[in-house]
Amino acid sequence: MENKVVVITGASSGIGEALARTYSSKGAKIVLGARRQDRLEKLASELPSDVLCVATDVTKEEDCKNLINSAIDRFGRIDVLINNAGISMRAVFQDVQLDVLKNVMDVNFWGTVYCTKYALEHIVHSKGSIVGVISIAGYVGLPGRTGYAASKFAVRGFLDTVRIENMHKGVHVLVAAPGFTSSEIRTQALVEDGSKQGDTPRNESKMMSAERCAELIFNAVKRRKRTIIMTLVEGKFTVLLSKFFPKLLDRLTFNHMAKEPNSTFSK
């Protein structure tokens, strides 16, 4: 990765921050995009390689265009685009305000579309990589998270199609699916009225670390893999069940998610 240029959205915390640290330690030049400029600047001061910070709200097309153009103006190329910015939600569909679903879709899906659109010609030129960070919710519907699951399914379908369209141009597309990963995504998750959840309903200490997730994504990009499902039981086994025993998986998923503290649904 020496002197390669890597653009990362959602870089101010969690998986995005861990990815920035991982790629920077390998000698890559980093372009950090997120809304919280102060956090980006702090992170940049701690990284050993050349770093550019760009305040970016991925729900805004012009912000995404500016992120990509700023990367080109500073470094002249883009080798890896990692669409990591994302938010979650926690509310049953019957109760949730529709603006919540739209907000989740704008960040998770449209943020990926906007950044990929403006970066694609540069990725084609460098024969580089486009990465989408989804979730097991991009393979299996999770109750209480309709908007989140829908957005992750959409990202997977979008990037799978981008891969096929550009298969003869040397473009690599990776769809990366972490399991539950320790990050801010649950504390920042939107509840039924659009406010933030605040507290995580899960034991963060028992989850995959953001650093481990970043390491797996880095290695998958290096090997130019199509997909990566990062956990065994809640990941690969779940996807396998969805193919061969979907009705059983529905029941198992419902029962598992209903056990969360203050679950939004019950039997």
Order of all β-strands in the sheet with 51-55: 51-55, 29-34, 5-9, 80-83, 129-133, 172-177, 227-229
* 241 φψ region: left (φ > 0), alpha (ψ -120 to 50), beta (else): alpha
Task: Return phi, psi of residue 52, to 5°.
Answer: -120, 130
Single out the catalytic residue among 114, 118, 139, 148. 148
Rg (CA), the chain: 18
User: Residue 136: in which H helix or E strand, if any?
Assistant: none
DSSP 6: E
Nearest-angstrom CA–CA distance, 112 and 258: 30
Q: 23 catalytic, yes or no?
A: no
Active-site positions?
Answer: 148
